[in-house]
Structure formats: C-alpha cells, structure tokens
C-alpha cells in the first residue's frame, strides 16, 4: 500500500492510464487490468489491492487477500502468471513486507511464480538510484525476501524527468527479460501452479487432521504474522475462493 503500484503502471504504459493519489490510503480498491505495449510486445498488467496490515483492520486485510486470490484464480484460467512485480518503498523493509512476500510467494503461488523487486520513490537518492540495491540487498536477504531481479526507479515524473525516463527504460527491460519465451516455458506456462496448490486445500480445515492443512495454517501464522484463529479463517477463505470451478 502506498508503494506506487498505480504510478508504476503509468510508467510502463508511458501515459496516465491508472488513477493515482497521494491523499487516499488505498487508491486501488480492487484489482484492475491494463493492456500495455512495450516495444513490439503486448502485455496485460494487473494493479492489485495494497496490503499493509498495520494500516488495515482484519476485515480490510481479508478483503484485500480475497481480491488477490480472485485475481490469481482468474489469471490461471487464462494460462497463468508470468511475473510478479513486488513494489517496495525504500523506507519500509521489515516485518510487514516479509509477511506479504511470503503470502504471495509461498502460500498463494507455491514458490512457482518469479518475483522481481521494484524499489520506488528513489528520485531523491544521492548518487545512482541502483545504489539503494547495493546498500540494502543484504537486508532483504536477511528478511528472507529472495527475488530473481530488481529495478530501482522513480515513477514520479515531476520530481526528476531525467530519472523518470531512465526508470521507464529500466522497468521495461526488466519486464521483457523475465517474460521472454524461455522464462515463461520454464516457470509458468501450462503448469497450473496456483490451481494445483489450491486443490491441496480441499475439505474443511478445522478438525480434518490433514497434515497439509495444518501446515498451511502453520505457515500463515509463522511466515505471514497471522494469529492462529485468523489463519484458519484465512486458509478457509483461500480454499473457498479458488477451488470452485477451478478444476
């Protein structure tokens, strides 16, 4: 939340196609899709609901997770997901960031979808924007946030037009690199990774005795910072949100 996801969409598009606001705590209330052309290639980019647990009550958090589940389920029916762009504010590396990383990477997508870090709001970085990565990548590693690639950018044109242009080249090259045919064949195409991982959650979670079901709840509590009671509810919501009609 507030990491500049909608601004990133506009940066990739080269024009204002997504609404942005510095005044609203959550500018994107549900996922939105945007067709974007980079060079000669066409992409469909999805802007998700922001997840920032300290600023959300549990009902809002559950709603955001449910919307993410619906998006992933929708994409699986059309061939899968090629890439996650994990947007990070440079000042917010910590527990909440780690929780969201594990929620998407391990719980929702079974470690099968490549993730690249996009560090935003670096228009005032002293020196090159990529210096942030050189100085902080060990911190991300210590938080067990592992990514396949990264981009250090600004998505705000007014503050630094030169860095904005540089950022568009950087992010477009990153997207092209990680969505070429070699990566898509290796990572996602035809794998049905999300559906297969979600099918493991069939059946009631409470009192079923399934070791896998217990493991899901355990990972939600240990990796995502969710209370045991909320972990059971969240896992059950994930199951119900994606299994019906998914096979």
In a domain, 77, yes or no: yes
Q: Which residues share a beta bridge with 11?
A: none
Task: Report the pLDDT averaged over residues 120-141.
Answer: 92
Assigned domain for 201 exists: no
pLDDT score of 68: 75
Please tell me the least confidently modeled range out of 74-88, 179-193, 222-236: 179-193
- Residue 51 pLDDT > 60, yes or no? yes
116 located within any domain: yes
Q: Give the chain's domain count.
A: 1
- Is 130 within the bounds of a domain? yes
Residue whose structure tokens are 């024009």: 15
CA 180, chain centre distance (Å) = 19
DSSP letters spanning the chain = --S-HHHHHHHHHTS--S---SSSS-S-SS-EEEEEEETTEEEEEEEPPP--GGGS-HHHHHHHHHHHHHHHHHHHTTT----EEEEE-TT--SHHHHHHHHIIIIIITTT-S-EEEEE---TT-SS-TTHHHHHHHHHHHHTT---SEEEE----TTT-HHHHHHHHHHHHHHHHHHTSHHHHHHHTTTT-HHHHHHHTT-S-STT---HHHHHHHHHHHHHH---HHHHHHHHHHHHHHHSTTT-
Which structure tokens are listed for 93? 């590396």
**Does the predicted model carry a pTM greater than 0.95?**
no
Write the burial class of residue 166 (CB in 10 Å: 0-12 exposed, 13-18 middle, 19+ buried): middle
Does residue 214 form part of some domain?
no
Find the domain containing 110 and state its range.
5-191
Domain of residue 80, CATH code: 3.40.50.300
Among 36-45, 95-104, 184-193, name the most confident range: 36-45
Q: For the ranges 25-29, 198-202, 233-237, which has the lowest average pLDDT? A: 198-202
Angle between helices 95-102 and 211-224 (to 10 degrees): 150
- Quick one: tokens of 143? 């938080």
**pLDDT score of 207 more than 50:** no
- In this structure, is residue 212 part of a structural domain? no
Between 224 and 71, residue with greater pLDDT = 71
pLDDT band at 198 (very low <50, low <70, confident <90, very high): very low
> Residue 208: left (phi > 0), alpha (psi -120 to 50), or beta?
alpha
* Average pLDDT, rounded, for the chain: 75
Asked, for residue 229, whether it belongs to a domain, the answer is no
């Amino acid at each position: 939340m507030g990491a500049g996801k909608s601004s990133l969409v506009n940066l990739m598009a080269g024009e204002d196609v997504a609404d942005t606001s510095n005044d609203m705590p959550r500018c994107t209330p549900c996922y939105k899709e945007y067709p974007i052309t980079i060079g000669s290639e066409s992409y469909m980019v999805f802007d998700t609901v922001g997840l920032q647990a300290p600023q959300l009550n549990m009902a809002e958090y559950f709603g955001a997770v449910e919307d993410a589940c619906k998006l992933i389920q929708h994409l699986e029916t059309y061939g899968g997901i090629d890439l996650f762009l994990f947007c990070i504010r440079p000042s917010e590396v910590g527990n909440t960031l780690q929780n969201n990383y594990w929620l998407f990477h391990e719980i929702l997508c079974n470690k099968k979808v490549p993730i690249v870090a996009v560090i935003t709001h670096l228009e005032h970085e002293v020196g090159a924007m990529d210096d942030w990565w050189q100085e902080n990548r060990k911190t991300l590693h210590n938080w067990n946030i592992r990514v396949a690639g990264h981009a250090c950018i600004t998505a705000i044109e007014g503050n630094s037009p030169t860095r904005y242009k540089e950022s568009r080249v950087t992010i477009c090259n990153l997207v092209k690199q990680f969505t070429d045919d070699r990566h898509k064949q290796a990572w996602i195409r035809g794998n049905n990774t999300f559906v297969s991982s979600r099918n493991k959650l069939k059946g009631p979670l409470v009192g079923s005795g399934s070791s896998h079901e217990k493991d899901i709840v355990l990972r939600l509590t240990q990796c995502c910072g969710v209370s045991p009671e909320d972990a059971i509810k969240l896992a059950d919501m994930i199951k119900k949100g994606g299994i019906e009609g998914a096979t």
